């Protein structure tokens, strides 16, 4: 028995030990200190040309434009040092505030940025469109809302479906026809175009079809873990019921089901919608959905509120009551301007950048701050009551969407708070002079102007 055990142990050791091949594995003599080994000394410093603002005090935190820099370096003022290693400079140029953060950044906040360009793109059949999403899989702390960017080519459908989450949408470009039937049998159909909004409550079945020229729209769901891949699709409902049951339920011959889809359609080409929408205005004995509960709001026709640094448009249940817990603003910031420092006391903020480029500093109590850079197509996320601003860092207008899970669009602005607090309290707390306090504005600014 002892001989057998010894043979087993010997065989096991032989299996575990690597084959002896000095050319492949090197020599054990290379491990550790050797008095005869010379270590080469090589200069690894990097020659670089600082961009505007890079040599200024780090706490000033001006935006560093690395767009045309071949080899951007993680240096700001007297902080940081050169990086001679292998790097993805395309990301470094896009995210200068990550590479060389302002000196006021501290610690590590949640990740408040996700580029939709890094999301997996789900392609529709027969070149009919695509969809990509952001949820807690890629932004684990964005728990209250998730988003989908979807494109339908002319005549293409987003298949008849429903969700377990409420769906709020902003049309980014083009136009489409949407249709729905609610739990009371009331019907709805309408055409929407760039800048318009729709909302479908959870469980309400609906469809979307692109009109001539196609459409791209943004979907926001009231659940951060929502996934487009878990949608209830008409094709799948039919595919996973016994055909005898379907025929009985619908009151049709069994043979009528011979050609139902064998797989989901999701995004697929279709017969172009009739130009006369009344041809698709199907009604039941319950009638159409009332205007007060309309699933659409033609936000594109609402004038923007102009301020010194740009403009703001707000939509919430006061004007769009069916979306009872969705409040949103489209903000336009002129070059050099910024959405003022603010926070939302009643909701997280889910932000989508539509045009231009900008940056934001997310501040978490008591002393954590991270600055993020954003470009068109990015998602931002700012938790409830965490302060932030959004500054235009480019040469064109910055346009973005702020979405809240709240019955009204509200925020608290840092400037208005400080300006509306008794001066002596502010002087004792912050050390600001009377002259400085006299320059503050007691009215909310929303967007403040600045030099480019």
Mean pLDDT of 152-175: 97
Answer yes or no: pTM beyond 0.85: yes
Mean pLDDT of 377-402: 98
Asked if the model's pLDDT at residue 21 lies above 80, the reply is no
What is the pLDDT at residue 15? 54
User: Mean pLDDT in the chain?
Assistant: 93
φ and ψ of 257, to 5 deg = -100, 10
Beta bridge partners of 331: 312, 400
Binding residues are 161, 163, 167, 206, 342, 344, 349, 388
For residue range 99-120, what is the model confidence (pLDDT) as tens digits?
Answer: 999 999 999 999 999 999 999 9
| Statement: 304-448 belongs to CATH 2.40.160.10 | no
Smallest CA-to-CA distance from 126 within 152, 160, 149, 150 is with: 152
The CATH code for residues 115-231+266-297 is 2.60.120.10
Asked if the model's pLDDT at residue 13 lies above 90, the reply is no
* Residue 316 near residue 324, CB atoms below 8 Å: no
Tell me if domain 115-231+266-297 and domain 304-448 are identical in fold: yes
For residue range 54-63, what is the model confidence (pLDDT) as tens digits?
Answer: 999 999 999 9
Q: Which two tokens stand for residue 225?
A: 């873990």
How does strand 398-405 pair with strand 326-333? antiparallel
Q: Which two tokens stand for residue 90?
A: 């395309």
Asked if the model's pLDDT at residue 196 lies above 70, the reply is yes
What is the pLDDT at residue 127? 97
CA 277, CA 42: separation in Å to the nearest integer?
74
110 φψ region: left (φ > 0), alpha (ψ -120 to 50), beta (else): beta
Mean pLDDT of 161-187: 97
Q: Is the preceding omega at residue 174 within 30 degrees of 0, hence cis?
A: no
Long-range CB pairs of 41-49, under 8 A, 24+ apart, other chains included: 44/84, 45/82, 45/84, 46/71, 46/73, 46/82, 46/83, 46/84, 48/72, 48/73, 48/75, 48/82
Task: Supply the DSSP string of 344-398, one letter for each residue.
Answer: -TT--EEEEEEESEEEEEEEETTTEEEEEEEETTEEEEE-TT-BEEEEE-SSS-E
* Residue 391 near residue 361, CB atoms below 8 Å: no
Delimit the domains of the chain by residue range.
50-104, 115-231+266-297, 304-448
What is the pLDDT at residue 18? 55
What is the pLDDT at residue 22? 62
Asked if the model's pLDDT at residue 146 lies above 90, the reply is yes
CA 40, CA 103: separation in Å to the nearest integer?
36
φ and ψ of 89, to 5 deg = -70, -20
Mean pLDDT of 333-353: 97
For residue range 264-317, what is the model confidence (pLDDT) as tens digits?
Answer: 999 999 999 999 999 998 989 999 999 999 999 999 999 999 999 999 999 999
**Helix (H) or strand (E) run with residue 175 in it:** strand 167-181
pLDDT over 90 for what percent of the chain?
87
Asked if the model's pLDDT at residue 8 lies above 50, the reply is no
* Residue 320 near residue 297, CB atoms below 8 Å: yes
Residue 319: how many other CB atoms lie within 10 Å: 11
Binding residues for Mn(2+) are 161, 163, 167, 206, 342, 344, 349, 388
3-class secondary structure, 408: coil
Lowest-pLDDT choice from 4-8, 119-123, 152-156, 281-285: 4-8
Asked if the model's pLDDT at residue 423 lies above 60, the reply is yes
Mean pLDDT of 17-43: 81
**Catalytically annotated residues:** 402
Smallest CA-to-CA distance from 127 within 207, 214, 66 is with: 214
* Residue 452 near residue 340, CB atoms below 8 Å: no
Smallest CA-to-CA distance from 347 within 400, 395, 394, 383 is with: 383
């Amino acid at each position: 028995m002892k001989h057998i055990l010894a043979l087993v142990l010997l065989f096991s050791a032989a299996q575990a030990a690597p084959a002896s091949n000095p050319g492949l594995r090197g020599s054990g003599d290379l491990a550790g200190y050797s008095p005869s080994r010379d270590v080469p000394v090589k200069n690894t410093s990097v020659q670089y040309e600082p961009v505007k603002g890079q040599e200024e005090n780090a706490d000033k935190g001006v935006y560093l434009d690395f767009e045309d820099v071949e080899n951007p370096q993680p240096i700001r003022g007297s902080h940081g040092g050169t990086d001679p290693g292998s790097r993805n400079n395309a990301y470094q140029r896009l995210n200068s505030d990550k590479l060389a953060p302002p000196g006021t950044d501290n610690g590590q906040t949640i990740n408040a940025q996700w580029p939709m360009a890094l999301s997996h793109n789900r392609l529709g059949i027969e070149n009919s469109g695509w969809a990509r999403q952001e949820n807690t899989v890629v932004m684990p702390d964005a728990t209250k809302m998730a988003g989908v960017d979807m494109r339908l080519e002319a005549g293409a459908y987003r298949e008849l479906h429903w969700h377990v989450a409420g769906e709020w949408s902003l049309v980014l470009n083009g136009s489409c026809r949407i249709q729905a039937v609610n739990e009371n049998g009331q019907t709805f159909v309408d055409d929407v175009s760039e800048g318009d909004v729709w909302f479908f409550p959870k469980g309400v079945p609906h469809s979307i079809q692109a009109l001539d020229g196609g459409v791209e729209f943004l979907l926001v769901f009231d659940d951060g873990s929502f996934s487009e891949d878990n949608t209830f699709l008409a094709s799948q409902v039919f595919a996973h019921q016994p055909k005898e049951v379907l025929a009985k339920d619908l009151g049709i011959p069994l043979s009528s089901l011979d050609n139902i889809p064998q797989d989901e359609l999701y995004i697929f080409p279709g017969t172009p919608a009739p130009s006369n929408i009344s041809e698709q205005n199907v009604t039941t004995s319950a009638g159409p959905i009332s205007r007060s509960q309309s699933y659409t709001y033609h936000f594109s026709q609402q004038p923007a509120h102009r301020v010194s640094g740009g403009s703001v448009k707000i939509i919430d249940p006061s004007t769009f009551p069916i979306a009872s817990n969705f409040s949103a603003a489209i903000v336009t910031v002129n070059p050099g301007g910024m959405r003022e420092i603010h926070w939302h006391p009643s909701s997280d903020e889910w932000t989508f950048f539509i045009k231009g480029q900008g940056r934001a500093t997310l501040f978490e109590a008591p002393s954590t701050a991270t600055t993020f850079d954003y470009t068109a197509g990015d998602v931002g996320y700012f938790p409830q009551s965490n302060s932030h601003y959004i500054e235009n860092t480019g040469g064109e207008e910055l346009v973005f969407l702020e979405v809240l899970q709240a019955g009204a669009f509200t925020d608290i602005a840092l400037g208005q708070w400080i300006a509306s607090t008794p001066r002596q309290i502010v002087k004792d707390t912050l050390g600001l002079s009377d002259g400085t306090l006299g320059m503050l504005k007691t009215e909310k600014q929303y967007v403040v102007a600045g030099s480019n």
